[in-house]
Amino acid sequence: MIVFDLICHTGGHEFEGWFGSSDDFENQKAAGLVDCPVCGSSTVNKAVMAPNVGIKSNQRTSARPASSRHSEQSHPAEGNQAMTKAVPIPPEYQELVQKLAKAQAKILEQSEWVGGDFPEQARAIHYGEKDAAPIHGTATADEVAELEDEGIDIMPLPLPVTPPKAQN
């Protein structure tokens, strides 16, 4: 997993996005799937990549917990550190997201991407009109509510999925 600092060109909002790879980001961006969480604009570009590793040129702070780093970075003369205003990401969180990404990849290994047909297909499987097989896709909040009302077992995926057609 890679975390990118992203900038929304519409409003200049800065935010973070997690992606499997740089290509992953480009694909999702090209498909209009990367939205600014502040204003919803999909005119989004990469800012500076936040490295997952410690800060090598500053030993004073490298042994400290990530949560205290941002207050220590007031010395601009110490090398080319790619620093951001971002909320520090604790290592436990990064580990968790990586585990989550692995678990999700495992879940989806045998699963078929059905895109926007998800609600229809989930319903067909539930009512026995289609053989039970793992599927994943997209659904609107309304569709999700309907499926849940009908007692159909579905679960939101914790991480974004790149539609297979966007991978070329």
Q: Which residues bind Zn ion (CB under 5 A)?
A: 8, 11, 13, 36, 38-39, 41
By beta-carbon proximity to Zn ion, the closer residue of 11 and 134 is 11
Query: Which long-range CB contacts under 8 A does 41-45 form with residues at least 24 apart?
Result: 41/8, 41/9, 41/10, 41/11, 43/8, 43/9, 43/10, 44/6, 44/7, 44/8, 44/9, 45/6, 45/7, 45/9
Task: Report the nearest approach of Zn ion to the CB of residue 9 (Å).
Answer: 8
Determine the angle formed by the axes of helices 118-126 and 141-149, rounding to 10 degrees: 10
Task: Report the nearest approach of Zn ion to the CB of residue 45 (Å).
Answer: 11
From the number of C-beta atoms within 10 Å of its C-beta (0-12, 13-18, 19+), residue 14 rates as middle
Q: How far is residue 78's CA from residue 132's CA, in Å, rounded to a whole number?
A: 59
Task: Report the nearest approach of Zn ion to the CB of residue 13 (Å).
Answer: 4
Task: Report the nearest approach of Zn ion to the CB of residue 15 (Å).
Answer: 8
Alpha-carbon 97 to chain mean position: 9
List, in order, residues 6 or more apart from 168 with CB less than 8 Å away: none
By beta-carbon proximity to Zn ion, the closer residue of 59 and 85 is 85
Task: Report the nearest approach of Zn ion to the CB of residue 121 (Å).
Answer: 34
Amino acid at 163: P
By beta-carbon proximity to Zn ion, the closer residue of 37 and 116 is 37
By beta-carbon proximity to Zn ion, the closer residue of 38 and 96 is 38
By beta-carbon proximity to Zn ion, the closer residue of 6 and 55 is 6
